Structure 1
């Protein structure tokens, strides 16, 4: 059975949103796409519904999230310490280990039916990384990949002081994606001291403002990242009224 292709992607700017609230809303959008795909399997192509796609940008109050196969020992704080600092903590259903989200970070959640684009998870992850790499290049920051490690890195070739600037962790089911990327723009890096980021003990974490010595316009960086992702995936982006999580 053929699949009706829809490259239109609804862009949603959620602003600052509680992590659990955003996660729940992601799950709703994800399930909506999966339900349409399941229903379409019983229909002739001419009767099938198009599946929706979403690209969401937001940021979260201070929170640590641990991936489904992550090691809880990589959180270096007790429950009482988290409470005292006002930091949330969730064990979630994405890949990867532990990471931090907070103000000054761009969190991107592509909720896509990959059958509208390509069915290759490796390619999907590389395209997310490429979007970030191109965005950083716009600011004169040379970034790339380190073999065997996800995310986007600086000093990725000589590896004298390799440091991660963007973390990634995704979930896919029936070729539908959720979760995504977290790019450190004006992020307060001291919060990474309370975890073993992504379970990696011998690498640093950095941000755009730490590298450039100045704060960046978050909206400007978002716009560049959005444009690069749209070009890579050949998305037809559209925006309707602002939909909050």
Structure 2
């Protein structure tokens, strides 16, 4: 599955490298970036990163009718601590433009895509994103190190995603500020929160951890908090209905 995603990004990376060679890359974003890390720490355990996710390989089309602006505002009103924005086009029907369209909601945004080359970090820095995703399994350790450092030069922290103990060991050698544990099995595409619970026992003090995939009910959220996670990233279960804001309120048991 990850190799399919890698191949899908090849043309984009080539295009960005050509722009870089021409000196035509867009300049860094000059507006305000809400602090992604601080927003999650401030809310504390149970903070929700609400995702705008129109489609996925496992679910197909999820909610193509809901615009990014509508989703961002609904999530803000419903109490999301931050937003996750799918920008991958081929498999998730996302767009880099969604970041600018969702920025007026005022929440920090995680660019969720397959970032494989430093030039994609530079591209991200030209948007209002407050953080970007790095999947440990998709990159060599030195590539991860380079992109982490480049992100910090732009004041863009990386969320380093892991699926198992080997991924976690690779990530922890880089001492990232944020680790995301994904409970999805990449071979079967099924989810099992026991995976996050198992890895959660390895969480060091002071590092912010996010649980992702398979979180659909208040009980799931409570389970991840009990497992030691500081935040959760939730997409499909919020987006599959007509009102993602109401779904977020139900997840967090918020009535206001």
Q: Give TM class, smaller chain.
A: under 0.3
Larger RCO (CA under 8 A, 6+ residues apart): 1
Larger radius of gyration: 1
Relative to its length, the structure with more helix (as a share) is 2
Query: Normalising to structure 2: TM-score of the pair?
Result: 0.26
The structure that is strand-richer by fraction is 1
